Amino acid sequence: MIGAGAVGAGTAWHLACQGHRVTLIDPCLAESINHKNSHHEPLNGTDASLGVLMGHIFRRSSGRAWRLRQRSMELWPKWVEKLNHPETPLHLDTPLIQLASGPEEAERMQSLAKQRIELGLEYFTSANTSSRHLPWPNPGYGGLRSQNDGRVDPLALQRALRRSLERKKVSLLASRVKSLHRPNDRDDTHWRVELDTGDITHCHCVVVCTALASNLLLNPLGHSLPMAAVLGQVLDLQVSAPATSWDHWPAVLVCAGVNLIRHSKDQLLLGATLEEGEQPSAHEPLIMRRLGGLAPNWLLQAEVVDHWHGLRARPSGRPAPLLEVLEQGLILASGHYRNGVLLAPATAEWVQHQINIESITLQK
């Protein structure tokens, strides 16, 4: 496995749980998982992420993206149960509330809620908003409450995965992969993975989970899977909101497309911007903070105590994510764009399935 973000580390753990012998390679394995201290360099996707799981509230009701989301939402409670440990606690926080930005969206939400009652979706109008819904901001057009969508803290997830990987005896190599080499001849089924240390690791199957860096490893082998960087900025705000504003605050509140996540007594994460390229704009966080004109004064006046940015990998000309067996023994699980944390469990299961098919083929 190359790349130890949510996708790579989650897949490595899942494969190890299924009895596979796994090596996970990433220079980040040399570091402890704390960060948010780099304001100038982009963080990797998982470190920068908010960990929001918007599975059931997704617009479409068919197709691969919907199936992956549904499968992940089925698997997340099981993952959390298995990964949670007193030393590395992990929770699935729910619910998620999404506010409508106008009458058309409110109508669409209403019909979605009707179709997905059994998935925990409920529509509310500003008239029937009770304390169990939301006191702020004035919901205006109403919104959707999704009982089973929510959030996992991405740093807690990585700590829990790291601990479980060690327990499952997954080899953790804190190195960068320099290049990949196909098996030498027909009798040899081993890929050679060359590290920046000069060492070479041999394996039957290579799984590439390196987000934007994937093409660097795959291009020399003749595979072209271009991806574009879409930058996201996150603000951590110290707020002094009126006490009632905190009552019934959901795990995630989505307002004007911005996620608001309360993560301690009076701190709120606000994110994330969507910016083409790799340079953070100074204006985008200001625009995001206004919440399309809905932001209350206490939010506008809140002090910024932390601020970071990261890069998402968006496949060019193809839908996210890129899940492909490129050739025998070479699998790509990358390009998860805005949903790599959400889709980590379904991705891990897909990779396991492909490896099982490959081993059956090899045994024949």
Chain residues binding ligand FAD by CB under 6 A are 2-8, 25-28, 44-46, 48-52, 176-177, 209-211, 213, 217, 232, 234, 271-272, 310-312, 334, 336-342
CB of 172 to ligand FAD, least distance (A): 12
Q: Is 198 left (phi over 0), alpha (psi -120 to 50) or beta?
A: left
The smaller minimum CB distance to ligand FAD, of residues 106 and 225, is found at: 225
The smaller minimum CB distance to ligand FAD, of residues 142 and 347, is found at: 347
Residue listed under structure tokens 């985008």:
284
The smaller minimum CB distance to ligand FAD, of residues 100 and 258, is found at: 258
CB of 273 to ligand FAD, least distance (A): 8
The smaller minimum CB distance to ligand FAD, of residues 117 and 216, is found at: 216
CB of 307 to ligand FAD, least distance (A): 11
Q: How far apart are CA 45 and CA 337, in angstroms?
A: 9
Six token digits for residue 14: 């899942």
Amino acid (one-letter) located at 134: L
Q: How far apart are CA 228 and CA 189, in angstroms?
A: 33
Is the CB of residue 50 less than 8 Å from the CB of residue 151? yes
Burial class (CB in 10 A: 0-12, 13-18, 19+), 276: exposed
Q: Decide: helix, strand or coil at residue 331.
A: strand
Q: How far apart are CA 213 and CA 334, in angstroms?
A: 10
The smaller minimum CB distance to ligand FAD, of residues 2 and 109, is found at: 2
CB of 260 to ligand FAD, least distance (A): 12
The smaller minimum CB distance to ligand FAD, of residues 315 and 329, is found at: 315
The smaller minimum CB distance to ligand FAD, of residues 133 and 336, is found at: 336
CB of 86 to ligand FAD, least distance (A): 26
Phi, psi of 153 (to 5 degrees): -70, 120
CB of 184 to ligand FAD, least distance (A): 22
Q: Decide: helix, strand or coil at residue 192.
A: strand
User: Rounded to whole angstroms, what are the CA distances from 89 to 81, 152, 210?
Assistant: 10, 11, 26
CB of 118 to ligand FAD, least distance (A): 23
CB of 274 to ligand FAD, least distance (A): 9
Look at the chain and count its residues. 364
Six token digits for residue 293: 């004109």
The smaller minimum CB distance to ligand FAD, of residues 142 and 329, is found at: 329
List beta partners, residue 235.
270, 307
Q: How far apart are CA 337 and CA 339, in angstroms?
A: 6
